[in-house]
């Protein structure tokens, strides 16, 4: 770990000073499992957010974009699982606004100081009587130590909650970063600042203005959540929100050494959560890192990496520990990137698979052993330039099909 920061044991979104949270069962899920979370800042918090680039953006995303445009601070976040409030028209937007009003009433803040998120089934209106009672219960359950409960309440098909925190030593004092995320299916985010689902909430007690928060979050999301893909499907609800309430009194200024340290800690935190999401991918049995090296430019490297990572034939081969590299070169070939196939080299971990566009001669039994591991890497050397890119992905298993075939039934 970096000498300036370290992960906290049992860290969560309530690890930073001045933040409360709750996670309760409102009754949205037939199972009776927790399905509503709330985050509350004791004082107005500066913020930034990144949202899905999907044209069919959900009502909470549309409302969130409005908050980014018109609000300087927030006080509370409400997240419900079990219903995405997506493709729900004017009624859905009205219900999103109503959620903010209900939370504002129960927290004694203004509706404009509340932002919401929803995750779950698309195209179904929110049961507002359940939502109303849930918000009241969540508000009354707020506590400085309930970050873990909040993380559990936002899960859908996740098998484990995902939350963590880091303590950061800066020149003028200590600050803390906490975060929670969910999402193990319908995951291929392309989130922009400010524009089954990927949701992430980040809290810090540092003093940071909104402009710097936007810079931090934009770069960190691009190097974490936008680098993962589970099934190649982008959600209508993807959201990442960062709150800074300044409770520590430690200010971070743009261009300072402290800003550099803080950003690195933030990126590390989000990469840890992004990794956990892929490891918990729906039915996933393999964690795969795709490295593209020596591409002609960054855009080409990204396209090549994502073409391999999202190939169903590649993903099913990984599930079966089949070292069929023909599927990888095919994915590269149809990616749309212009390159010389006779210059391409491919490795599984440190074992040569393809040399100059042809079979490297490594025995398949050796390659199959690599693919039997829980984690392995695929490195593609394009020998076309100096650009590189990486992506984290996983396999597609029988269980993934079962989960998604039965999601509504």
* Token pair belonging to 360: 């490297």
Burial of 296 (0-12, 13-18, 19+ CB in 10 A): middle
User: Is CATH 3.60.70.12 the right assignment for the domain spanning 5-279?
Assistant: yes
Q: Does residue 87 contact residue 239 with C-beta atoms inside 8 Å? A: no
Q: What is the tens place of the pLDDT at every residue in 132-170?
A: 999 999 999 999 999 999 999 999 888 899 999 999 999
Q: What is the structure's pLDDT at 30?
A: 87
Q: What is the structure's pLDDT at 192?
A: 54
pLDDT higher than 70, residue 1: no
* Token pair belonging to 177: 């970063």
Contacts of 103 by beta carbon, 8 Å cutoff, 6+ apart: 38, 76, 78, 109, 111, 114, 116, 135, 139
Q: What is the structure's pLDDT at 356?
A: 97
Q: Give the helix/strand (H/E) hosting 23.
A: strand 19-24
Q: What is the structure's pLDDT at 190?
A: 62
Contacts of 231 by beta carbon, 8 Å cutoff, 6+ apart: 185, 186, 187, 188, 281, 282, 310, 396, 400
Catalytic residue positions?
197
pLDDT higher than 50, residue 409: no
SS3 label, residue 293:
strand
C-alpha pair distances (Å), 22 with each of 25, 36, 66, 144, 235: 10, 8, 25, 9, 25
pTM to 2 decimal places: 0.93
In 3D space, the residue among 219, 205, 129, 196 whose CA is nearest the CA of residue 167 turns out to be 205
Would you list the DSSP string of 44-95? EEEEEEEE---SS--HHHHHHHHHHHH-SEEEEEEEEEEE---S-HHHHHHH
Average pLDDT over residues 358-385: 97
Question: pLDDT exceeding 90 applies to what percent of the chain?
Answer: 85
Contacts of 391 by beta carbon, 8 Å cutoff, 6+ apart: 227, 228, 229, 289, 290, 305, 306, 308, 309
Average pLDDT over residues 257-271: 97
> Do 287-405 and 5-279 fall under one CATH topology?
no
Q: Give the helix/strand (H/E) hosting 266.
A: helix 257-279
Where residue 234 falls among pLDDT bands split at 50, 70, 90? Answer: confident
Compute the radius of gyration of the chain from its Cα atoms. Answer: 22
Matching CATH number, 287-405, of 3.20.20.240, 3.10.20.340, 3.30.43.10, 3.40.720.10: 3.10.20.340
Q: How do the domains of the chain map onto residue ranges?
A: 5-279, 287-405
Virtual torsion, Cα 271, 276, 281, 282, nearest 10 deg = -140
Q: What is the structure's pLDDT at 81?
A: 93
Average confidence score pLDDT of the chain = 94
Q: Cβ atoms within 10 A of the Cβ of 21, count? A: 30
């Amino acid at each position: 770990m970096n000498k300036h920061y370290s992960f906290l044991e049992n860290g969560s979104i309530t690890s930073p000073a001045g933040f409360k949270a709750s996670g309760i069962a409102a009754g949205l899920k037939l199972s009776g499992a927790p399905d509503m979370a709330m985050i509350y800042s004791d004082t107005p918090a500066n913020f930034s957010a990144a949202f899905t680039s999907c044209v069919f953006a959900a009502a909470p995303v549309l409302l969130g974009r409005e908050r980014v445009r018109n609000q300087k601070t927030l006080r509370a976040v409400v997240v419900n699982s079990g219903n995405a409030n997506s493709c729900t028209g004017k009624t859905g937007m009205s219900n999103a606004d109503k959620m903010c009003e209900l939370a504002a009433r129960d927290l004694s803040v203004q509706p404009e100081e509340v932002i919401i998120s929803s995750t779950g089934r698309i195209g179904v209106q929110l049961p507002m009587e359940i939502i109303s009672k849930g918000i009241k219960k969540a508000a009354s359950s707020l506590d400085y130590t309930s970050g873990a409960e909040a993380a559990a309440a936002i899960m859908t098909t996740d098998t484990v909650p995902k939350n963590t925190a880091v303590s950061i030593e800066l020149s003028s004092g200590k600050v803390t970063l906490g975060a929670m995320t969910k999402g193990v299916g319908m995951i291929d985010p392309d989130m922009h600042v400010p524009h089954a689902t990927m949701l992430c909430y980040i809290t810090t007690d540092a003093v940071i203005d909104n402009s710097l928060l936007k810079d931090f979050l934009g770069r960190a999301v691009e190097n974490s959540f936008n680098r993962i893909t589970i099934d190649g499907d982008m959600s209508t609800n993807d959201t990442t929100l960062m709150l800074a309430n300044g409770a520590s009194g430690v200010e971070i200024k743009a261009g300072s050494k402290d800003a550099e340290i803080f950003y690195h800690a933030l990126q590390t935190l989000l990469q840890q959560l992004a990794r956990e999401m892929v490891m918990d991918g729906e039915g996933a049995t393999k964690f795969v890192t795709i490295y593209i090296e020596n591409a002609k430019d960054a855009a080409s490297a990204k396209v090549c990496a994502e073409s391999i990572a999202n190939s169903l034939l590649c993903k099913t081969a990984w599930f079966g520990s089949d070292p069929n590299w023909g599927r990888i070169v095919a994915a590269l070939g149809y990616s749309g990137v212009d390159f010389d196939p006779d210059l391409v080299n491919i490795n599984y971990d440190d074992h040569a698979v393809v040399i100059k566009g042809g079979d490297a001669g490594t025995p398949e039994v050796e390659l199959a052993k690599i693919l039997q591991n829980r984690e392995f890497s695929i490195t593609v050397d394009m020998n076309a330039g100096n650009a590189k890119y990486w992506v984290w992905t996983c396999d597609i298993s029988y269980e993934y099909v079962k989960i998604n075939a039965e999601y509504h039934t």
